[in-house]
Structure 1
Amino acid sequence: MSEYVVMFPADNEAEWEAGSEADHQTTYDTDLEFGRLLEARGGAVTGGAGLTHSSRARTVRRGPSSDVLVTDGPFAEAVEQLSGFYIVTCDDYDAVVEAAHVLTRVHPVVEIRPVQED
């Protein structure tokens, strides 16, 4: 069975934090619907997580002369940051893509990448 990562790279952190419990529940319900649709197509959600407070993240990277630099915030120079992801398995990539259509109701962008198999 092939494995994929389904990522949400464009969710707006400020909108999420300002959202109501009902707004959050709509997202949770839609994410659960994705899982049900994926299962109906022979796949499964096997892991994942929401990534909170991306604007308060720290980045560790190698700098000039192999010095280690720690900076505030995510490394990417962008408003859009990865807010969460699912790890899924399915024999049919198109089935994953089809099931992910429902996620665009609450996530403006859904990116699906195959996981490299050893």
Structure 2
Amino acid sequence: MAKYMILIYGDAQQWDAMTDKQWKAHDAAHEAFVAKAGTQIIDGQQLEMAPTATTLRSDSTGQIQTTDGPFLETKEALGGYYLIEATDLDEVLSMATLLPEVHASHSGVEIRPVVDHG
């Protein structure tokens, strides 16, 4: 089995504007994904909103610079992830279509295979 990281992106302003009813539907969709993936989920977490991030980068002299917030030039920011095991990308795609971020106009998911160094 290969490992895949599902990165969940969205617009924090859109998430903040969701009603209780929308959040319940959103959470139910994640529960459906978790039910389908079952024990294939290795880990998954919702992240705090992007402004709470801290970014480290080195400058031209090699000194480490710390910046509050993510290094973004877009409204979409990383909001959470799932790390799953699956037989192939097609299996991951089948599961990921259940995620509400795939269906919302302000968000989406990115799926990447995890490099196996072993």
State the TM-score, normalized to the length of structure 1. 0.84
The number of residues matched between the two structures is: 114
Q: Is the 8 A contact 2:76 2:107 kept in 1?
A: no
Per the alignment, residue 40 of structure 2 pairs with 44
Give the AA of the match of 1:98. S
SS at match of 1:74: coil
Q: Is the 8 A contact 1:30 1:105 kept in 2?
A: no
Q: CA RMSD in A?
A: 1.8
Per the alignment, residue 96 of structure 2 pairs with 100
Per the alignment, residue 4 of structure 2 pairs with 4
Where do residues 19-34 of structure 1 align in structure 2 (5 Å cutoff)? 19-34=18-33
Where do residues 8-87 of structure 1 align in structure 2 (5 Å cutoff)? 8-9=8-9, 11-39=10-38, 44-87=40-83
Q: Distance in 1 between matches of 2:53 and 2:80?
A: 14
Per the alignment, residue 113 of structure 2 pairs with 114
SS at match of 1:66: coil
Gap runs ≥5 in structure 2: none
What percent identity do the matched residue pairs reach? 28
Q: Is the 8 A contact 1:5 1:86 kept in 2?
A: yes
1:15 deviates by 1.7
SS at match of 1:19: coil
